[in-house]
Structure 1
Amino acid sequence: MKFLDWYLKIAAVSALVGDDKVTVLESEKRAWESSPEAQAIREALNPWRNNDAQARKNP
């Protein structure tokens, strides 16, 4: 356990850097998901989604 304090410091710094990176990636993901391009891709991948919703509204 000669280098235990060094490993703890590295772990703490890595956790802080990793947390910031995850925060940035999540915000970019949310911004992209709300973009018109993402909505168009979502519609293209599931074109009958609106048909199912309309069928439920109009029995």
Structure 2
Amino acid sequence: MRFLDWYLKIAVGSALVGASMEFFMIKTGFYDKVTVLESEKRAWESSPEAQAVREALNPWKNQDIQARKNS
């Protein structure tokens, strides 16, 4: 109980810093930008071009699957 005032000061300070960061992100439109970027990322990941890139980066995928089936 000796350091209770320090813990309360730290908790209040942390809450104020977190609230100010959230307020800043809301005011600058951060969440809207992130939502758009995430939707574009998901759309690209499901495209045929992304599938071709994944297959090109891992040419042994089919061999690994066959090896698992045979063992």
TM-score, structure 1 normalization: 0.73
Q: Does 1:44 align with 2:56?
A: yes
Q: Does 1:23 align with 2:35?
A: yes
Q: Tell me the residue number matched to 1:34.
A: 46
Superposition deviation, residue 21 in structure 1: 0.4
For structure 1, the residue ranges without an aligned partner over 5 or more in a row are: 1-7
TM-score, structure 2 normalization: 0.62
CA RMSD of aligned residues (A): 1.5
CA distance in 2, matches of 1:33, 1:18: 22
Identity of counterpart residues, as a percentage? 71
Aligned residues: 49
Q: Which has the higher contact order (CA 8 A, sep 6+)?
A: 1
